[in-house]
């Protein structure tokens, strides 16, 4: 089977006792049906700031606001998508939802319980109810461990019985049970991501967070992994938080989408409604920037495609507020790790990089 896997350490620790059989939760049932309509994840006024080191003894440290005043409710059983460009704050927000980072201010509740001020030691219950599938399947699996040890790791960490669950999970994600004795490097990218999904399902979580799970995979395998996630979310009655910069992928998987830019949620809506009638200029720009394969196959040149994109932006009014050039400038400066935002040219960024390395422009 040619396909594509998850992080060195699964979220571990937590309550004693059994969480239920495969595909179930307490008392053998996962509880999504009983939890329908309840809020699984709630954020209120969440902010996250990072301080950069001082550049001089008398200077003031620069504060970078990675997440700005995010308030959001995700219902139990919902498939919620989070989209935005690189550096928009998606991963930082995920870390806080997962209890891997604390907000500078604001409140985060998971299934009604606050986690924003809790220490890692007090979040054992969360490690069992919430699991992650990471972006890079190779780096997220310990290369020294066999697959059976990787999948069983969260069970051991949470003191749950192992039984025959490793084989059951492998079969559930479309893998042969023979895979249990092999190492991660012996699999393709899609197969490794399947193994990652199996590990995330091991403690029977209520919430599954998928952080760009197909962005590192070949195009030929992405649909298979997306279909797998679709199947396990239904089969295990999970609440899904799916993060991606690809709007077409989110449209395939999610019921509702939030668009994030510069640390802020700029638009939230039903997936189809957001695609058909986007309200925010940045959302309009994201949709206008999606490549049209049919046009390329029809013989349109790169220049023609770019011109059509600019025309679409102008027609939607997106260019009046957030131009492609301004976003590129902001992204270039952020990638260079330099202060500032729009109004800085990519050439200036390259110049700054060169000067930082002691070079001259000639």
CB contact at 8 A, 361 and 354: yes
- The enclosing H or E element of 268 equals strand 264-270
Q: How many domains in the chain? A: 1
Q: Domain for residue 351, yes or no?
A: no
Q: What is the pLDDT of residue 291?
A: 64
Q: Domain for residue 324, yes or no?
A: no
Q: What is the pLDDT of residues 302-357, one digit of tens each?
A: 666 566 666 655 655 544 444 444 544 444 444 444 444 433 333 443 344 344 44
Q: Domain for residue 130, yes or no?
A: yes
Q: Domain for residue 100, yes or no?
A: yes
CB contact at 8 A, 37 and 23: no
Q: What is the pLDDT of residue 315?
A: 56
Q: Domain for residue 129, yes or no?
A: yes
| 313 Cα distance to chain centroid | 27
- The string of DSSP letters for 171-202 reads HHTT--GGGGGS-GGGS-HHHHHHHHHHHHHT
Q: Domain for residue 41, yes or no?
A: yes
| 175 Cα distance to chain centroid | 24
237/171 Cα distance (integer angstroms): 18
Name the residue range of residue 252's domain: 1-52+62-276
Other Cβ atoms less than 10 A from the Cβ of 254: the count is 22
What number of helices (H) and strands (E) belong to the chain? 14, 10
| 281 Cα distance to chain centroid | 23
The partner residues of 132 in beta bridges, in order of sequence, read: 209
256/209 Cα distance (integer angstroms): 15
Contacts of 163 (CB under 8 A, 6+ apart): none
CB contact at 8 A, 7 and 13: no
The CATH code of the domain that includes 213 is 3.40.50.300
Q: Domain for residue 300, yes or no?
A: no
Q: What is the pLDDT of residue 304?
A: 63
Q: Domain for residue 234, yes or no?
A: yes
CB contact at 8 A, 76 and 129: no
Spans in the chain with pLDDT lower than 50: 1-34, 318-325, 327-362
Contacts of 301 (CB under 8 A, 6+ apart): none
Query: How many Å from the N-terminal Cα to the C-terminal Cα in the chain?
Result: 53
């Amino acid at each position: 089977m040619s396909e594509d896997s998850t992080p060195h350490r699964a979220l571990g620790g937590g309550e004693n006792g059994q969480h239920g059989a495969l595909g179930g939760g307490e008392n053998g049932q996962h509880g999504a049906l009983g939890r329908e309509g309840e809020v699984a994840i709630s954020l209120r006024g969440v902010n996250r700031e990072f301080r950069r080191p001082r550049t001089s003894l008398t200077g003031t440290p620069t504060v970078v606001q990675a997440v700005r005043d995010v308030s959001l409710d995700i219902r139990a059983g919902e498939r919620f998508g989070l989209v935005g460009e690189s550096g928009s704050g998606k991963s930082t927000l995920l870390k806080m939802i997962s209890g891997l980072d604390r907000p500078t201010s604001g409140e985060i509740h998971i299934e009604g319980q606050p986690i924003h001020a809790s220490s890692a030691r007090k979040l054992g219950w969360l490690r069992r109810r919430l699991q992650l599938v990471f972006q890079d399947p190779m780096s997220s699996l310990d290369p020294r461990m066999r697959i059976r040890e990787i999948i069983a790791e969260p069970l051991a960490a949470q003191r749950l019985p192992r039984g025959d669950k490793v084989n059951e999970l492998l079969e559930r994600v479309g893998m042969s049970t023979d895979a249990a004795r092999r190492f991660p490097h012996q699999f393709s990218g899609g197969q490794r991501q399947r193994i990652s999904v199996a590990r995330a399902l091991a403690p029977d979580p209520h919430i599954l967070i998928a952080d760009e799970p197909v962005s590192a995979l070949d195009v030929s395998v992405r649909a298979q992994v997306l279909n797998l996630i679709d199947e396990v979310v239904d089969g295990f009655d999970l609440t899904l938080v799916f993060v991606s910069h690809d709007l077409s992928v989110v449209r395939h998987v999610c019921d509702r989408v939030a668009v994030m830019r510069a640390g802020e949620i700029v638009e939230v809506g039903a997936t189809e409604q957001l695609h058909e009638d986007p309200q925010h200029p940045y959302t309009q720009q994201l949709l206008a920037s999606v490549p049209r394969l049919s046009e390329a196959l029809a013989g349109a040149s790169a220049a023609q495609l770019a011109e059509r994109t600019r025309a679409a932006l102008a027609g939607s009014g997106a260019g009046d507020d957030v131009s492609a050039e301004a976003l590129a400038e902001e992204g270039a400066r952020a990638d260079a790790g330099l202060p500032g935002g729009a109004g800085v040219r990519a050439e200036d960024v390259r110049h700054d990089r060169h000067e930082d390395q002691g070079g001259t422009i000639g």
